[in-house]
Amino acid sequence: MMVLEKISAVIDDMPGIHGSGTYRIADRDLKIIEQYVRKDSVTAETGAGLSTILFAIIGCRHTAIAPSREEWVRIQEACRRHNISPQNITFLDESSVDALPRLPIGSFDFCFIDGCHGFPVACMDFYYMSRMLKIGGILGIDDVPIWACKIVVDFLHREEGWKYLVTGDKSAFFSKHLEDQESREWDSQPYNAKMTKKNLRGTSFLKAFALIPQRSHKLIRLISEGDYGAISKRLKRLLNR
Ligand SMILES: C[S@@+](CC[C@H](N)C(=O)[O-])C[C@H]1O[C@@H](n2cnc3c(N)ncnc32)[C@H](O)[C@@H]1O
């Protein structure tokens, strides 16, 4: 049976891996992973579930990290029911922020972020997985609409060291093309620099408006007199302080 047929059979008989249900990756995202990952790939994911079963079907050397032994037991049960061998899966029953720093740098072909979607964990998963990947390796980020995931995706879209590949139903995929990108300063990161500029503009306005109450009587007089030239000059002076 082909990989996609096998995973469809698991979906038809979906076990509740995450308790009562399975918060699984979407069908298109599964297909994208199946296209990029080969049997001889070295892969890792944060979070576990249907995606872990997909990696088991492909048969690659895979590390799944989730702080839940029960999930691993349910994944193994599902594999047994469907005649899938989980022998190439290493399951690390701990938080990704503890496990990822121990994994080897520059040795993974494919990494997938779908563990804790809170801030800063999703960003920390990105930090560690970006250094774990080989040059040419692929990073997938699931649940892109969640803000902690979206900032990673927005950041990668503007990075020279990463190439955007594709977006599925909920996941975006990029390939890595430069080493040692993780610890660069903010002003050499296009997205960080752009957002900082935007924030600084916002700060000047906030500063001006914070000062307005001190001079509100003068401003109110100018407004009532319709002296918009003087109002504009006064605001410009405040903004330049
Ligand atoms: C949305 S589910 C993953 C779905 C999975 N990719 C699938 O296709 O079924 C989120 C996963 O994150 C795991 N998780 C929660 N906190 C975590 C953490 N701090 N580190 C790693 N995994 C975590 C949960 O145990 C769960 O397996």
Which domain CATH number covers 173?
3.40.50.150
Compute the distance from residue 105 Cα to the ligand 1 centre, in Å. Answer: 22
Ligand 1 near 65 CB (within 6 A): yes
Same domain, 86 and 140: yes
Calpha distance 205→186 (Å, rounded): 23
Residues 138 and 87 in one domain: yes
Helices (H) and strands (E) in the chain, counts: 10, 7
pLDDT, tens digit (0-9, with 9 covering 90-100), for 161-195:
999 999 999 999 999 999 988 899 999 999 999 99
Cβ–Cβ < 8 Å for 10, 4: no
User: Do 87 and 61 have their domain in common?
Assistant: yes
Q: What is the pLDDT of residue 207?
A: 67
- Quote the ligand 1 centre to 115 CA distance (angstroms): 4
Task: State in Å: Cα 65 to ligand 1 middle.
Answer: 8
The CA distance from 193 to 160, in Å, is 14
Give residue 212's domain range: 190-239
Tell me how long the chain is.
241
pLDDT band with cut points at 50, 70 and 90 for residue 14: confident
Distance CA 222, CA 24 (A): 61
Q: Are residues 57 and 135 in the same domain?
A: yes
Residues 42 and 72 occupy one common structural domain? yes
Residue 167 pLDDT: 98
CB distance 48 to 17 below 8 Å: yes
- From 31, 68, 170, the mutation candidate for ligand 1 (largest count of ligand atoms within 8 A of CB) is 68
Instruction: Give the domain-ending residue among 168, 183, 198.
Output: 183
Residues 149 and 207 in one domain: no
Q: Is 112 helix (H, G, I), strand (E, B) or coil?
A: strand
